[in-house]
Amino acid sequence: MVTVMGDDSGSWIMEVDRGGYWEFLLGAKLRMSHGDGFQALFNDFMLRVHGDGFTPVKPHGSQGDGGMDGALGNDVFQCYGAENGHVINAARVCKKMTADFNRACDTTPSMERWFFAHNLVDGVSRPLVDTLEQIKTRATKINVEAGFFGLHSFRQLLKKMTEEDRAAVLGVRAQDDLMLARLPAAVNNLISALMEEIKPIMETYTSRSRVPRDKLTLNNISRHWTYQFEYFLMFSPISRAVMRRLGGEKQSLLLPSFFRLRYEELKHEGMTSSQILNTMKALLAGNVRNLDDDLREFAAMTILADLFESCVIFEETRQEANQDEIYDLAD
């Protein structure tokens, strides 16, 4: 629930549930963490929730890790952090998955469950899913469970943390009144920068008064993006007020028209809904560099949620769509 009040001076008073804010930060942090950085992030999550019950594992000297990046009782974890949350060489990753599992089987006879922890927020590529199925076939024969440890599992860990631990592990400050007070100015900066860069568009756009209840389902929006939209829609009045103040009705139609055409281009290229949203978010957040990173991301999501709610981007009725698949088999 949110209460939003504004006046002509641009002052805003808000009271909001912060759950969606942590979801927003979690996705961004996972995408930014790769390689050893992702393993360090995974360890931080596990240690804050499980304490000394979790053991991080690192090679020492000539001794390897035995196919194990971490252990919790008889659960074994292997980490893979893709750059920007996107797999470039699936064949290499699949080979590593299989080799790590086989090594863990050979070196850890007490292993009961094996998890492949990853930062693929927007979905796991099909080759990795197929490889996991092959691993599960062997695992079943030796009474071992195997699965992915992804966004859903990180989300469950985050829920078990205190707000102080959440802020610490994600590397950002918690949302506070100061950030909310600065949000209108941040949205203003992003929109102003975009309006200066985009060319006038002939298409006229008429805003809709409401978003269809089933729009998230119709467009196959992933749970990760759904949680964020449900949160940032609370702030859509700020985005709309800023657009109205920037040059009147004609200017306020320019930005929606631009994003509608950009959406159609990306959809025609065969992008999934998550790929489209990531591209548009990057377009919004990349135009201004004089804002704090977390505030710029926050403002970009506020505008993106408003565009979605106004039916500027994505569809109102059932059409053939590109569907995201998210596989996270860990509880």
Q: Decide if pLDDT at 323 tops 70.
A: no
Strands (E), the chain: 3-6, 12-15, 54-56, 70-72, 75-80, 113-118, 145-149
Provide the angle, in degrees to the nearest 10, between the axes of the packed helices 236-245 and 248-268. Answer: 120
Please provide the size of the chain in residues: 331
What is the share, in percent, of the chain residues with pLDDT greater than 90?
31
Please provide residue 318's backbone torsions phi and psi, each rounded to the nearest 5 degrees.
-60, 125
Closest alpha carbon to 273 in 225, 208, 213: 225
pLDDT surpasses 70 at 327: no
Tokens at 277, concatenated: 């949203």
Query: What does the pLDDT read at residue 326?
Result: 40
The answer, yes or no, to whether residue 79 has pLDDT greater than 90, is yes
Listed range (129-133, 156-160, 264-268) with the worst mean pLDDT: 264-268
Q: How far apart are CA 318 and CA 215, in angstroms?
A: 9
Mean pLDDT, residues 182-188 taken together: 73
The confidence score (pLDDT) of residue 217 equals 77
DSSP 245-282: HTTHHHHHHHHHHHHHHHHHHHHHTT--HHHHHHHHHH
Cα 261 to Cα 2, 204, 265, 280: the distances in Å are: 32, 11, 6, 12
pLDDT at 198 over 70: no
Question: How far, rounded to the nearest angstrom, does the alpha carbon of residue 139 sit from its chain's CA centroid?
Answer: 31
State residue 116's pLDDT score: 97
- Assess whether pLDDT exceeds 80 at residue 165: yes
Assess whether pLDDT exceeds 60 at residue 285: yes
pLDDT digits (tens, 9 = 90+) for 215-240: 777 778 888 888 888 888 888 777 77
Q: Which of 146-155, 178-187, 190-199 has the highest mean pLDDT?
A: 146-155
Q: Would you say residue 140 has pLDDT above 80?
A: yes
Q: What are phi and psi of 54, to 5 degrees?
A: -100, 140
Residue-level pLDDT at 322: 47
Is-contact 194 255, C-beta < 8 A? yes
Closest among 205, 174, 217, 235 to 315, alpha carbons compared: 217
Comparison of pLDDT for 206 and 47, the residue scoring more: 47
Q: Are 324 and 122 in contact (CB under 8 A)?
A: yes
pLDDT 10s digits, 96-121: 999 999 999 999 999 999 999 999 98
Mean pLDDT taken over the chain? 77
Confidence of residue 251 (pLDDT cuts 50, 70, 90): low
Q: Which pTM value belongs to this model? A: 0.64
Domain segments of the chain: what residues? 27-167, 175-309
